[in-house]
Amino acid sequence: MTAKNASTPAARQPSIEDLDAAICRMSRDINVAQYRLLLLIREFDDRFGWAKWSFRSCAEWLAWRCGITLSAAREKVRTAQALRGLPQISGAFADGRLSYSKVRALTR
């Protein structure tokens, strides 16, 4: 690789500002998706969907079906159910302004 070729990829790299904006956009999109996931989990739990597969709880089903630990699954179900009575937190999470980790802490 010549010196000219070595510098060519750098010229095509996004600016730090572009990277910053992309990271923030993607983080917001992830927060919104996690909120929607928790809504689905809450509805699945409310409708006892997990019983169809003979599980004793939604958390057990979620751990099995989504390949997460039982403790992580319990936290998702707990957080999903807690959001029902917290409209301001739900709204901020739905808009992507709060992350799942912050919502978990706020619902304890």
Q: Which amino acid is at 2?
A: T
pLDDT (0 to 100) of residue 85: 97
Average pLDDT for 18-30: 98
CA-nearest of 71, 93, 77 to 43 is: 77
Whether 73 contacts 57, CB under 8 Å: no
Q: What is the pLDDT of residues 61-74, one digit of tens each?
A: 999 999 999 999 99
Query: What are the residue boundaries of the structural domains of the chain, listed by start?
Result: 16-106
- Banded model confidence at residue 7, pLDDT cuts 50, 70, 90: low
Greater confidence (42 vs 11) lies with: 42
Q: Which tokens hold the place of 101?
A: 């980790």
DSSP conformation class of 14: P
Q: How far apart are CA 30 and CA 41, in angstroms?
A: 16
- Specify the pTM: 0.86
What would the mean pLDDT of 23-33 be, rounded to a whole number? 99
As a whole number of angstroms, the distance between CA 70 and CA 8 comes to 48
